[in-house]
Amino acid sequence: MATNTESTAATARPELSDYLSDDLVIHGLLVFSIVLMGLPLILAVVMSTQTPSEVYEVTNVGIGSQGLANYQTALGEYNLGQYMWNSFVMASIIVVGKVALSLLAALALVYYRFPYERAVFMFILLTLLLPVPVRIVPLFQLMADLGWANSMLSITGPYIASATAVFLFRQHFMSIPASLVDNARLDGVGPFTFLVKVLIPMSKGMIAGVSVITFIYAWNQYLWPLVVISAQEKQVVQVGIRYLQGASQSGLTQWGLIMAGAVLALIPPLLVLVVLHRPLLKTFAIQQK
Amino acid sequence: MSHIQLDDLRKRFGDVEAVRGIDLEIEKGEFLVLVGPSGCGKSTTLRMLAGLEDISEGELRIADERVNGVAPKNRNVAMVFQNYALYPHMTAAENMKFGMKSAGDYGDDEIERRLDRAADILDIPELMERKPGELSGGERQRVAIGRALVREPEVFLLDEPLSNLDAKLRVQMRAELLKLHQELQTTTVYVTHDQTEAMTLGDRVAVLDAGQLQQVAEPQELYDFPANRFVAEFIGNPAMNLVPVDVVEDGGEVRAEHEGFSVGLPDQAGLDDAVGQSAHFGIRPEDVSLAGNLPADAPTHEITVSVTEPLGESLLMHCDVGGDEIQVKAEPRAEIRPGDDIEVGFDEERLHLFDQSGDAVYHSTSATPKTSEAPLTE
Ligand SMILES: Nc1ncnc2c1ncn2[C@@H]1O[C@H](COP(=O)(O)OP(=O)(O)OP(=O)(O)O)[C@@H](O)[C@H]1O
Ligand SMILES: [Mg+2]
């Protein structure tokens, strides 16, 4: 009898504490990793309110004495608003252009029979091996020859063709039952009507997902605009932040100002992400398949 | 004048010949069912009728006009698909209107009139503002049929429209399709792999196997006079029993001799030619009766029951006779156990013989087939 109760108690007790300690460990790890990932952002926000000397005091991690003054300086004196607007226009053009072009390309790939269809698709995928940074020199030459250098065209044009987007739309179209197309053919619905009235509404999630990724990617462009845009007022925000670095006060880099610029530059893509995060998740779920 | 004519219609996909020369005439207003096992080319044939698949060879005429190269929309046909093919982002009404709107040949009043009529016929006015995701399978199928109705086509093509529905709904929709056809009298070609559906729906049934027509006939005739072994086994559930026999003449009487039984064959067309040949003897499970239900002087044969399957309305027995298996349908609640030896008799009017190549050579019934259409296979 005695041994019996003892053994049940012995098995019951560790079970309970195991459960608790497991939970604690897991939660501890989760909190730690979240803080770790959030730390740069939190620090950036904190530093954006500090003066340069406050930034250099490592122990000073509170809200600084500058308040929002750094933001005012960045937007006013350093014209960051203009750069952000330029970035916004650039990103929007790239999103619209890329989605439209990729939809048409996917339509052709999935719903038209043409010679060497597979080879064409493979060729499109091959372009993934040559992202813009690799092509910078010939691309620059091309832009110069076209007379596009130092214009909005030069920072949007090269990004509009996208193998990734074509691939995603193609896969999505192929998952749409063929009988929908058959039915449209019986009804005499033309390809363009079919694209606008059927395919696009049925691909809303995918389009939103591709748009989010593209917007953030375009917004974060740095190297190519730096190379191809020479007029400062036409520059994009990522390069604009770089301009902030040039400003120094009694030999100290204005980290507070730079951080304010960085935080400002973060807001538009963050908004886009928050608004469209659901379709984005869906897009990635399809990619996993 | 027949409404649809298929003349040696063929379809090749690369090396695969999916449809191998179909000759078929479909009358105006007829409900023709195309039935056959999976992969026999039913859908391909239907899609050629619709114009969704190019015709490799042969000729297709609709209303006496050659339509081989005519675009689907100009053939005046409407098709209902197995998976309904409804646009998920449109309401039922929008789905039904979409084709007409895109074609642009119809005024808004006309579209509304047709929509209301179709909704009334199918009894779905209250579903019109719902999207496919908010409809049950049966309701979706109604909307899909409605979409075909509003086009007021000359020909309805249906590709296994009921196979995604549960058994009960299928029976119900089957009856509704029949009613619909009686009302509209539109020429209809209906594809199914389900022989029950084929038998209940079709004015005529065309049995297809491996891309070739096996027999085209009215349902009862298909059952009573199967043209070959394939049709005999495909039509009817459970399938017809087929066992090898020798046909011999014995004192003026022709008999089918098997290890387990010997049965006298009534004199009918084709019997004389079969004498002296080995053949396949066919009898349906429902045409075999227990000796107790037969007159005392009827010939009986002893068989051994190996498995029993109570079906509720009858008892299906798998039995052994002279090394071959035959199935027997007996009345339910018969006290029969596996291992029992039982006495059975064959219905003299329901015996069939098939020659070595599988073609029917003899049916024992004294009735004659209504349409004397020869099997269309070569
Ligand atoms: N697009 C195609 N390319 C190559 N072969 C095809 C194609 N479509 C059908 N086939 C082949 O043609 C044959 C007939 O196909 P079909 O779809 O007509 O069969 P089915 O009778 O409708 O069968 P199920 O009852 O399964 O629908 C099959 O062997 C199939 O593999
Ligand atoms: Mg099929």
At B374 the pLDDT is 47
Q: Are A272 and A72 in contact (CB under 8 A)?
A: no
Estimate to the nearest angstrom the gap between the alpha carbon of B265 and the chain centroid: 29
| CA-wise closest residue to B273 among B375, B166, B353, B178 | B353
Written as one letter, the residue type at B138 is G
Q: A65 with A85, same domain?
A: no
Task: Please report whether residue A120 resides in a domain.
Answer: yes
The alpha carbon of residue A41 is apart from the nearest alpha carbon of chain B, in Å, by: 40
Q: A40 with A114, same domain?
A: no
At B188 the pLDDT is 93
At A3 the pLDDT is 44
- Distance from Cα A189 to the centre of ligand 2, integer Å: 24
B184 touches chain A (CB under 8 A): no
% of chain B residues with pLDDT over 70: 97
> Parallel, antiparallel, or unpaired: how do β-strands B288-290 and B262-264 relate?
unpaired
3-state secondary structure chain A: CHHHHHHHHHHHHHHHHHHHHHHHHHHHHHHHHHHHHHHHHHHHHHHCCCCHHHHHCCCCCCCCCCCCHHHHHHHHCCCHHHHHHHHHHHHHHHHHHHHHHHHHHHHHHHHCCCCCHHHHHHHHHHHHHCCHHHHHHHHHHHHHHHCCCCCHHHHHHHHHCCHHHHHHHHHHHHCCCHHHHHHHHHHCCCHHHHHHHHHHHHCHHHHHHHHHHHHHHHHCCCHHHHHHCCCHHHCCHHHHHHHHHHCEECCEECHHHHHHHHHHHHHHHHHHHHHCHHHHHHHHHHHHC
Question: pLDDT 10s digit of each residue in chain B, 378 long?
Answer: 458 999 999 999 989 999 999 999 999 999 999 999 999 999 999 999 999 999 999 999 998 889 988 888 888 899 999 888 999 899 998 998 888 888 777 788 888 888 888 888 888 888 888 999 898 888 888 899 889 888 888 899 999 988 888 888 888 888 888 988 998 899 999 999 998 999 999 999 999 999 999 999 999 999 999 999 999 999 988 999 999 999 998 888 899 999 988 999 998 888 888 888 899 999 999 999 998 888 888 888 999 999 999 988 899 999 999 889 999 998 888 888 899 999 999 998 999 999 999 999 999 887 777 654 544 443
- The DSSP output letter for B376 is -
With a CB cutoff of 8 Å and minimum separation 6, the contacts of B149 are: B78, B114, B117, B118, B121, B122, B184
DSSP-assigned letters across all residues of B68-119: TT--GGGGTEEEE-TT----TTS-HHHHHHHHHHHHT-S-HHHHHHHHHHHH
Q: A161 with A92, same domain?
A: yes
Q: A124 with A259, same domain?
A: yes
Q: A165 with A272, same domain?
A: yes
Task: Please report whether residue A225 resides in a domain.
Answer: yes
Residues with CB under 6 Å of ligand 1 are: B 13, 16, 18, 36, 38-44, 193
With a CB cutoff of 8 Å and minimum separation 6, the contacts of B321 are: B243, B258, B259, B260, B261, B301, B303, B304
- End residue of a domain, out of A69, A90, A108: A69
At A17 the pLDDT is 60
pLDDT-based confidence at A18, cuts 50/70/90?
low
Q: Which protein residue's CA is at the shortest distance from atom 7 of ligand 1?
A: B13
Cβ–Cβ of A185/B73 closer than 8 Å?
yes
With a CB cutoff of 8 Å and minimum separation 6, the contacts of B372 are: none
**C-alpha span between B40 and B331 (Å, rounded):** 35
pTM of the shown model: 0.80
Q: Which residues surround ligand 2, an ion (CB under 5 A)?
A: B 43
Q: A156 with A267, same domain?
A: yes
Q: What is the CA radius of gyration of chain B?
A: 24
**Which residue has tokens 């019934």?**
B365
Residue ranges and CATH numbers for the domains of chain B are: 4-229 (3.40.50.300), 235-363 (2.40.50.140)
User: Does B241 or A44 have the greater pLDDT score?
Assistant: B241
Q: A121 with A17, same domain?
A: no
pLDDT per residue as tens digits for the range A124-140? 888 888 887 888 888 88
Q: Which protein residue's CA is at the shortest distance from atom 19 of ligand 1?
A: B39
DSSP-assigned letters across all residues of B258-284: -SS-EEE----TTHHHHTTSEEEEEE-
Task: Please report whether residue A6 resides in a domain.
Answer: no
Written as one letter, the residue type at B377 is T
**Residue A105 sits in a domain of what CATH number?**
1.10.3720.10
Written as one letter, the residue type at A240 is G
pLDDT per residue as tens digits for the range B74-133? 888 999 998 889 998 999 989 988 888 887 777 888 888 888 888 888 888 888 889 998
**C-alpha span between A31 and B252 (Å, rounded):** 99
- Average pLDDT of the residues in A49-57: 74
Domain span at A41:
13-69
Q: Are B327 and B238 in contact (CB under 8 A)?
A: yes
Q: A97 with A162, same domain?
A: yes
Cβ–Cβ of A187/B73 closer than 8 Å?
yes
Beta-carbon count within 10 A of B156 CB: 24
Task: Please report whether residue A3 resides in a domain.
Answer: no
Task: Please report whether residue A123 resides in a domain.
Answer: yes
Q: A280 with A239, same domain?
A: yes
- Distance from Cα A111 to the centre of ligand 2, integer Å: 21
Cβ–Cβ of B81/A197 closer than 8 Å?
no
Mean pLDDT of chain A: 82
Provide the domain count of chain A.
2
Task: Please report whether residue A108 resides in a domain.
Answer: yes
Question: What is the distance in angstroms between the CA of the first residue and the CA of the last residue of chain A?
Answer: 57
Backbone angles phi and psi of A30, in degrees to 5: -65, -45
Task: Please report whether residue A7 resides in a domain.
Answer: no
- ipTM (interface predicted TM): 0.80
Task: Please report whether residue A4 resides in a domain.
Answer: no
At B372 the pLDDT is 47
The length of chain B in residues reads: 378
Residue A2 has pLDDT above 50, yes or no: no
Q: A214 with A142, same domain?
A: yes
Q: Are B71 and B91 in contact (CB under 8 A)?
A: no
At A249 the pLDDT is 63
pLDDT per residue as tens digits for the range B154-180? 899 999 988 888 888 888 888 888 988
pLDDT-based confidence at A289, cuts 50/70/90?
very low
User: Which residue does chain A place closest to B70, by CA atoms?
Assistant: A186
Q: A18 with A112, same domain?
A: no
At A45 the pLDDT is 84
Measured from the CA of B41, which atom of ligand 1 is nearest? 18
The token pair at B146 is 């409605």
Q: A47 with A164, same domain?
A: no
Query: Is the torsion defined by CA of A243, A247, A251, A257 positive or negative?
Result: negative
